Amino acid sequence: MNITKNDLRGKKVLVRVDFNVPLNDGIVQDTARIKNVNSTIRYLQESGAKIILMSHLGKTALPNPNQSLRLLKKQVEEEFRSKIVFIDDCVAENAANIIDSASVDDIIMLENLRFHSEEEDCNEEFAKKLASLADFYINEAFSVSHRKHASIFAVPKFLPHALGFAFKKEVQVVDNFFQNAASPKMCIIGGSKLSTKIKLLKNLVKKVDKLALGGGIAGAFLAFLGNGALKIFDPKEYRDDVVEIIENAKEHHCALIMPTDFSALISDRDTIEHSIISSEESNASIFDIGPESVELFKRHINESKVVLWNGPVGLFEKAPFDFGTRILAEHIAQRTRENHLTSVIGGGDTGFAMKKFKVCHDMTYISTAGGAFLSYLEGSELAGITAMQDAYTLE
């Protein structure tokens, strides 16, 4: 089912966005999630619809001035070039009157949804109150659509609805990677904890040609495989999962690429020194993959047509342990610029690293979604997609 700008003209449209942006003394530090919804907001402005934005900010369940969406008012006004009419309570008794009296050229923004515990409880009465403010609903918050919250899962029950343009792009990028992208396909998976990536790895080894591991995730595999350099990881803790992933990789002809050397701090009673190691060191604290491993990863990147990267391969925030993540980011960016590679960067820390190393504009696609991007990569069902099965398509 399609819906056009003419269909939305004069309608009140409730848009779930994710403006959960980092703040420092009330100042927005990263505007990516605000900019990300620009296409949908422009579409609605051109349609003559009255736009009502709703979002959360932070993890609070109680009103907190430091997590008020009012702090974003100036930034949102500048981005969308519209006056913001701010409503201090998302389900205030006078909210409907304020919305009705606002100009169609204004954008209405509701206060933090999570100031009401009913949001995270997915309370349907709360959802009905939100839905009563509008004629139509758009989900433009892929980044929280793995959560079964009222504004994501319940509101669409009470309004005709559609997915926003950025939301659809996130889904299409992952779907295209698995279904349509040219081979060889390579994934680089990093991060500190294997426990957060087990489901992802089990899904990936069945669908990609190469799987390179970094960070603590690589450590868990190497400990199981007998490399003492990463002895801090208990090979028994995830033994069954690691065995299953290795066996599935063999069955599905997925090459598992492991680091062969590491960047570490070596300490004794008198000194602490940075060293590159490839075998067990009794006083080693490992924080990055080493230069030999970086070259190994680069060779496999050169053989690939598509690379998807989720999770830094080391402690990229601090030199010299930014080396592995930085060099790989620069290499992937160069290959992408030269049209040798399609590069997909899975948000969170990985996206932040790309920004730090100034390669964002060279990558084919960088997700801002974090946990939802990871969940979708895992093959998990997202509440925000489930709720939109009978959605309209914006034309």
pTM of the model: 0.91
Specify whether the CB–CB gap between 139 and 372 falls below 8 A.
no
Specify whether the CB–CB gap between 12 and 20 falls below 8 A.
no
Tokens linked to 372: 């939802």
Phi–psi pair at 231, nearest 5 degrees: -70, -15
DSSP state of 59: S
Which fold does the domain 174-363 belong to in CATH? Rossmann fold (3.40.50)
Instruction: Convert 160-189 into a string of H (helix), E (strand) and C (coil).
Output: CEEECHHHHHHHHHHHHHHHCCCCCEEEEE
Residues of the chain with CATH 3.40.50.1260: 2-163+382-394, 174-363
| Per-residue confidence in pLDDT tens, the chain, 395 aa | 899 999 999 999 999 999 999 998 888 888 999 999 999 999 999 999 999 999 999 987 789 999 999 999 999 999 999 999 999 999 999 999 999 999 999 999 999 999 999 999 999 999 999 999 999 999 999 999 999 999 999 999 999 999 999 999 999 999 999 998 889 999 999 988 888 899 999 999 999 999 999 988 888 788 777 665 555 555 567 888 999 999 999 999 999 999 999 998 887 766 667 888 876 666 678 899 999 999 999 999 999 999 999 999 999 999 999 999 999 999 999 999 999 999 999 978 899 999 999 999 999 999 988 889 999 999 999 999 999 989 999 99
Instruction: Kindly give, in sequence order, each residue whose CB lies less than 8 Å from that of residue 151, ignoring residues fewer than 6 positions away.
Output: 16, 54, 56, 113, 119, 127, 130, 141
* Residue of 110, 17, 112 lying closest to 60 (CA atoms): 112
Tokens linked to 348: 């969170």
Q: What is the CATH number of domain 2-163+382-394?
A: 3.40.50.1260
